[in-house]
């Protein structure tokens, strides 16, 4: 029996992994949320690793408050960046493979074709730079790692764009949604399945970076429109420019990711975002 530690156990991705865990009979999963384990605490981390002796660490924990990070720089860097070096060394000590979830926000969004893994990162927000710091520290300190960059994550669990749109769409007759930020929604259940059903492949292709989102391309306006269509919510949605909805943190204008590498090397099949959205919406009232 191999053991797997999952951080961020009550978040969107951690919760989806929890749903799948019973299907993996050869693995014992150990889920932790921030109330139970501060991943920046080295002594606590060593204590847990000594007790569990994991073969894998799946790090779903992150500082994800993108706008708040602009003024909470130290905490964002500590959680998304600095502690990754320490966790890497702990994983090395116990021979655990480190699977780390990163983000499309490490790119500036100035490309006009999908980003590949080797494209030069250039974050335009504190959140993005803190996640890039985590990637760099992992690569510098870990003996065995996988970095999975994803984007626009939603789920039946937690707070996310899908749930927010459903709530506001039902409360209001009309909404305005940004249409000049382009990316791809990612159903956390699909990302969870990609992670846990390919554990051996991650080790076989260790020390690599991969992109994972659902297939297809959308703006936030397209995403909202499709939610209302599929749920038959009679809300008029109007496209607006991002400059009409200013936020403290800048967002990439274009962050579509090329998934060719993960499909070819790991053998993962990826669903279109509209298909995955349909599966998620069936679980939501």
Q: What is the pLDDT of residue 218?
A: 98
The average pLDDT across 71-77 equals: 97
175-186 pLDDT, tens digit per residue, is: 999 999 999 999
93-145 pLDDT, tens digit per residue, is: 999 999 999 999 999 999 999 999 999 999 999 999 999 999 999 999 999 99
Is 28's pLDDT higher than 90? yes
Is 48's pLDDT higher than 90? yes
Q: What is the pLDDT of residue 19?
A: 98
Cα distance between residue 117 and residue 284, in whole Å: 33
Q: What is the pLDDT of residue 245?
A: 87
Which domains are seen in the chain, by residue range? 2-158+185-214+255-271 (3.40.50.720)
Reported pTM:
0.96
Q: What is the pLDDT of residue 285?
A: 87
127 is known as an active-site residue: yes
| Catalytic site residue from 127, 187, 221, 254 | 127
Is 61's pLDDT higher than 90? yes
192-251 pLDDT, tens digit per residue, is: 999 999 999 999 999 999 999 999 999 999 999 999 999 999 999 999 999 998 999 999
Q: What is the pLDDT of residue 193?
A: 98
């Amino acid at each position: 029996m191999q053991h797997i530690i999952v951080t961020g156990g009550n978040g969107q991705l951690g919760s989806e992994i929890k749903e799948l865990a019973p299907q993996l009979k050869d693995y014992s999963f150990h889920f932790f949320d921030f109330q139970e384990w501060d991943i920046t605490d080295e002594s606590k981390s060593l204590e847990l690793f000594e007790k569990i002796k994991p073969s894998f660490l799946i790090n779903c924990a992150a500082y994800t408050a993108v706008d708040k990070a602009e003024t909470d720089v130290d905490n964002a860097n500590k959680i998304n960046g600095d502690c990754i070096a320490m966790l890497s060394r702990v994983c090395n000590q116990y021979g655990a493979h480190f699977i780390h979830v990163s983000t499309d926000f490490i790119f500036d969004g100035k490309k006009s074709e999908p980003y590949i893994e080797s494209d030069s990162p250039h974050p335009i927000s504190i959140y993005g730079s803190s996640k890039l710091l985590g990637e760099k520290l992992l690569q510098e300190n870990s003996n065995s790692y996988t970095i999975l960059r994803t984007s626009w994550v939603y789920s039946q669990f937690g707070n996310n764009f899908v749930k927010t749109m459903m709530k506001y769409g039902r409360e209001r007759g009309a909404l305005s949604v940004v249409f000049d930020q382009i990316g791809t929604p990612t159903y956390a259940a699909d990302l969870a399945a990609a992670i846990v059903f390919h554990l051996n492949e991650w080790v076989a292709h260790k020390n690599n970076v991969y992109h994972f989102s659902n297939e297809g391309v959308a703006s936030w306006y397209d995403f909202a429109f499709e939610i209302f269509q599929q749920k038959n919510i009679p809300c008029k949605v109007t496209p607006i420019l991002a400059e009409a909805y200013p936020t403290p943190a800048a967002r990439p204008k274009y962050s579509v990711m090329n998934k060719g590498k993960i499909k070819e090397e790991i053998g993962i099949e990826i669903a279109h975002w509209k298909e995955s959205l349909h599966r998620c919406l069936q679980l939501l009232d």
